[in-house]
């Protein structure tokens, strides 16, 4: 069936093609595969803009595109739209479920047509409408998980859950908890990640790292939410470390849909060994290890920190980053990028390496997806170098990441700038990804977090748009960042900053103008003593 909509923007194409041939297949760009579009709580936000890259056609030859979208993966009952532009935006909010799990998954594809005929349709991409990635009770608001790790062996480690809700201030009410619950599990909650939806049931899952468990071999545990008013996570899977004293679970990360099967995947890194592991989601929820990602060298003081890179080459598959860090040798400081692709496995050979732009033994101490900072449909990444107070932005492209940084962020007098980096989502709601960079000073001056807003072209620069400063000296403010999404459903991403030495977590709410100071949305304090509250905060 046909539908109307706005086809504005986008350019026509031409040059270099045989006029006697059917056009090549267009390349989908936006929404990116696995993206979350809009919120249940803001009218007008659930109107996705579809963008694709045009094929070459002969000069003067007319070309139009047919785009199809549907809640059916086979697209047998799809809405079909014709346009001469390379983008199309739906006129009204798409239909979604109003009861938990709220929202709905959609699928889309596009093809090009000339008087000679039509190309094949592009591979089917999927995106969620009105769903958010860290929504444990499936009500349309993102939620926050915060860990409290025991400083002694007398208490269980705990992960607390705080559910999002409407309003200008975050209500600090505990909505459930999970704990280590056994003497062998230590460091439970040292790392946390909203795992996305690894079994495809529409509910967010959570992955918890415990690197000190099993005599420091380490483990990670996957929990499913039941969508209730309070989190009563169902323990699903235990991932165990393979190396003695490797501290598996030192980092855990949601890495998106790496193999394009519609299920989110996760990665786990080791704190004390240069190995990370990728696990694929499926309908059973039992994670199967796909591939070991290794530096391939033996050296002391090496660790591997896994994270998502987004889709840096725009092929529809999420990519994975692993930061290999050594405290004793600058030559082992590197970030390796592994490209996603179809099938049950991922190529263990890296697609590329990011090396320090200058001699710096702290390069890659932190790395994260930066979202799509310039709005071109390619994932971007950020890498920290706290030893020289810098962070680097690498922009994606059809060829992947440029090995030379596209933008350098300077701490401008701050020490340990780049100690922690994170995606900040889209805090000002302009459609471009934003990033946060932490600098935590335990002695001498309070820590701070700087937010850099994305933008097209020259709008992307190295001046911070807003800075959040520690309320107290020595509280570790800025040493832990959480990118938990849109907590109050206003369409702006929010930022969570922990101060683990002060046993507090702070919420900073997004808004259209980040330069205005009134953005603190509340704080959360330690529920129990004898625990380091804010040791980790959930990331998307």
pLDDT (tens, 9 = 90+) of the chain, 540 residues, equals: 344 444 443 433 444 455 568 999 999 999 999 999 998 888 999 999 999 999 988 788 899 999 999 999 999 999 999 999 999 999 999 999 999 899 999 999 999 999 989 999 999 999 999 999 999 999 999 999 999 998 666 678 999 999 999 887 777 789 999 998 765 678 899 999 999 999 998 899 999 999 988 777 899 999 998 888 889 878 888 998 888 888 999 999 999 999 999 999 999 999 999 999 999 999 888 887 778 999 888 766 789 999 999 999 999 999 999 999 987 666 678 999 999 998 766 778 999 999 999 888 899 999 999 999 999 999 999 999 999 999 999 999 999 999 999 999 998 777 889 999 999 999 999 999 999 999 976 566 789 999 999 999 767 889 999 999 988 888 899 999 998 889 998 899 999 999 998 999 999 999 998 876 556 678 888 887 778 899 999 998
Q: Where in the chain is the domain with CATH 2.130.10.130?
A: 238-537
Q: Under a CB-based contact definition with an 8 Å cutoff, are residues 352 and 333 in contact?
A: no
Burial class for 59, CB neighbours closer than 10 Å (0-12, 13-18, 19+): exposed
Contacts of 101 (CB under 8 A, 6+ apart): 131, 135, 138, 201, 202, 203, 227
Q: Phi and psi of 215, rounded to 5°?
A: 55, 40
Cα–Cα distance, 461 to 440 (Å, whole number) = 23
Q: Please state which CATH number belongs to domain 5-129.
A: 2.60.40.10
Q: Which helix (H) or strand (E) holds 213?
A: helix 213-216
**Dihedral, CA of residue 74, residue 79, residue 82 and residue 88, to nearest 10:** -100
Cα–Cα distance, 85 to 102 (Å, whole number) = 32
Cα–Cα distance, 312 to 378 (Å, whole number) = 5
280 bridge partner residues:
288
406: region left, alpha or beta (phi > 0 left; psi from -120 to 50 alpha): alpha
Question: b or e along 159-179 (b: 16 or more beta carbons within 10 Å of the residue's beta carbon)?
Answer: bbbbbbbeeeebeeeebbbbb
Q: What is the pLDDT of residue 20?
A: 65
How many Cβ atoms from other residues are within 10 Å of residue 403's Cβ?
12
Cα–Cα distance, 516 to 468 (Å, whole number) = 11
Tell me the CATH number of domain 238-537, given options 2.130.10.130, 1.10.357.10, 3.40.190.10, 3.40.960.10: 2.130.10.130
Contacts of 413 (CB under 8 A, 6+ apart): none
Picking from 325, 350, 353, 492, the residue whose alpha carbon sits closest to that of residue 418 is: 325
Contacts of 490 (CB under 8 A, 6+ apart): 39, 41, 42, 166, 509, 510
* pTM strictly above 0.85: yes
Q: Phi and psi of 330, rounded to 5°?
A: -65, -25
Q: What is the pLDDT of residue 112?
A: 98
Picking from 448, 443, 367, 363, the residue whose alpha carbon sits closest to that of residue 413 is: 448
**Dihedral, CA of residue 89, residue 95, residue 100 and residue 101, to nearest 10:** -50
Q: Under a CB-based contact definition with an 8 Å cutoff, are residues 507 and 170 in contact?
A: yes
Q: What is the pLDDT of residue 3?
A: 44
Q: Where in the chain is the domain with CATH 2.60.40.10?
A: 5-129
341 bridge partner residues:
none
Angle CA 372–369–348, to nearest 5: 120
Q: What is the pLDDT of residue 229?
A: 85
Q: What is the pLDDT of residue 360?
A: 83
Picking from 68, 231, 48, the residue whose alpha carbon sits closest to that of residue 137 is: 231
Cα–Cα distance, 312 to 407 (Å, whole number) = 16
């Amino acid at each position: 069936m046909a539908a109307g909509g706005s086809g504005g923007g986008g350019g026509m194409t031409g040059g270099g093609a045989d006029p006697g041939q059917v056009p090549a297949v267009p390349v989908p760009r936006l929404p990116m595969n696995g993206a979350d579009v809009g919120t249940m709580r803001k009218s007008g936000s659930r109107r996705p803009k579809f963008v694709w890259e045009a094929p070459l056609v002969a000069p003067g030859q007319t070309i139009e595109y047919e785009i199809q979208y549907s809640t059916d993966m086979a697209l047998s009952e799809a809405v079909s739209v014709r346009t001469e532009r390379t983008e199309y935006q739906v006129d009204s909010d798409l239909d979604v479920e109003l009861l938990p799990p709220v929202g709905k998954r959609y699928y889309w594809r596009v093809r090009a047509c000339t008087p000679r005929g039509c190309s094949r349709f592009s591979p089917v991409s999927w995106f969620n409408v009105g769903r958010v990635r860290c929504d444990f009770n499936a009500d349309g608001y993102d939620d926050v998980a915060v860990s409290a790790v025991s400083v002694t062996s007398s208490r269980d480690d705990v992960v607390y859950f705080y559910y999002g809700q409407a309003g200008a201030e975050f209500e600090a009410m505990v909505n459930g908890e999970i704990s280590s619950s056994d003497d062998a599990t230590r460091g439970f909650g040292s790392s946390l990640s909203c795992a996305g939806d690894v079994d495809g049931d529409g509910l967010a899952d959570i992955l918890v790292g415990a690197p000190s468990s099993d005599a420091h071999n380490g483990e990670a545990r996957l929990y499913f939410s039941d969508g209730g008013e309070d989190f009563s996570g169902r323990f699903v899977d235990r991932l165990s470390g393979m190396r003695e004293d490797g501290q598996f679970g030192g980092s855990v990360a949601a890495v998106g849909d790496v193999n394009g099967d519609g299920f989110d995947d996760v990665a786990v890194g080791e704190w004390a060994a240069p190995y990370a592991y990728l696990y694929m989601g499926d309908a059973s929820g039992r994670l199967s290890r796909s591939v070991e990602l290794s530096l391939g060298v033996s050296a002391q003081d090496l660790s591997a920190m896994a994270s998502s890179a987004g889709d840096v080459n725009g092929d529809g598959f999420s990519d994975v980053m692993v930061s290999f860090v050594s405290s004793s040798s600058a030559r082992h400081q590197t970030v390796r990028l592994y490209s996603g692709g179809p099938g049950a496995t991922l190529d263990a050979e890296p697609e590329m390496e990011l090396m320090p732009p200058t001699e710096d033994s702290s390069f890659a101490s932190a790395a994260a997806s930066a979202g799509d900072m310039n709005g071109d449909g390619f994932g971007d990444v950020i890498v920290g170098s706290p030893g020289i107070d810098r962070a680097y932005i690498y922009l994606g492209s059809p060829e992947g990441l440029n090995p030379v940084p596209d933008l350098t962020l300077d701490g401008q007098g701050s020490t340990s700038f780049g100690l922690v980096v994170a995606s900040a989502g889209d805090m000002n709601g302009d459609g471009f990804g934003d990033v946060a960079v932490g600098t935590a000073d335990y002695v001498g001056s309070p820590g701070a977090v700087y937010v850099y807003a994305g933008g097209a072209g020259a709008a992307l620069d190295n001046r911070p748009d807003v800075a959040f400063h520690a309320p107290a000296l020595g509280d570790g403010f800025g040493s832990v960042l959480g990118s938990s999404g849109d907590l109050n459903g206003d369409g702006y991403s929010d930022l969570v900053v922990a101060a683990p030495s002060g046993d507090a977590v702070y919420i900073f709410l997004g808004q259209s103008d980040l330069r205005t100071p009134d953005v603190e949305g509340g704080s959360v304090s330690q529920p129990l003593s004898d625990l380091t509250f804010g040791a980790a905060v959930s990331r998307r």
